[in-house]
């Protein structure tokens, strides 16, 4: 019998091979560095850190982001305006936060959420879920 997740392996491979530029929106330097390392290990070629909402806005204007890992609360505001843009542009994203899912607007509740403190394996799984989900949505739009 085939495992229920087997069809997703090819999607995940395609998603990882296509990951060029990612952003970590996180104001804690050590957490940001851990997340950058994890995304790089998964195949991210260029992973940038935005430690504020202003930095994140600037990165999205200039950098062709293909994946985002978002802390919900930053010193200059919450990240949901960035999440709105990611959703509108069909860019995969996930939340890495100390806050509960109940604080996430309904519009973004389908995005993976990993609570801090996090286990590295949970981040890896959430990244793969976000990438595979975006790829499935893209494939379904073509049909």
Please report the domains of the chain, with CATH numbers, ordered by start residue.
19-142 (3.40.50.2300)
Average pLDDT estimate for 134-138: 65
Query: 49, 22 in Cβ contact below 8 A?
Result: no
pLDDT at 126: 95
- The beta strand positions in the chain, using DSSP E, are 21-25, 46-50, 67-70, 73-74, 77-78, 93-97, 113-115
Residue 49 near residue 36, CB atoms below 8 Å = yes
Spatial distance between the Cα atoms of 106 and 4, rounded to a whole number of angstroms: 27
Mean pLDDT value of segment 6-31: 73
User: By the 8 A CB rule, do 98 and 115 touch?
Assistant: yes
Note the helical H segments in 89-119: none
pTM: 0.85
Percent of the chain clearing pLDDT 90 (strictly above): 67
To which residue do tokens 């850190």 refer?
49
The pair of three-digit structure tokens given for residue 39, joined into one six-digit string = 């995304």
Chain-centroid distance of CA 63 in Å reads 15
Give mean pLDDT, residues 110-122. Answer: 94
């Amino acid at each position: 019998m085939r495992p229920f997740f087997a069809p997703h392996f090819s999607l995940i491979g395609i998603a990882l091979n296509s990951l060029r530029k990612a952003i970590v929106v996180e104001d804690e330097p050590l957490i940001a560095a851990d997340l950058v390392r994890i995304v790089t290990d998964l195949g991210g070629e260029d992973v940038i850190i935005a430690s504020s909402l202003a930095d994140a806005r600037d990165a999205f204007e200039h950098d062709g982001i293909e994946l985002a890992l978002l802390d919900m609360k930053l010193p200059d505001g919450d990240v949901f305006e960035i999440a709105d843009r990611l959703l509108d542009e069909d860019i995969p994203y996930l939340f890495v936060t100390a806050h509960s899912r109940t604080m996430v607007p309904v519009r973004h509740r389908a995005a993976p959420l990993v609570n801090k403190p996090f286990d590295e394996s949970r981040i890896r799984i959430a990244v793969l879920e976000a990438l595979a989900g975006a790829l499935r949505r893209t494939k379904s739009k073509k049909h």
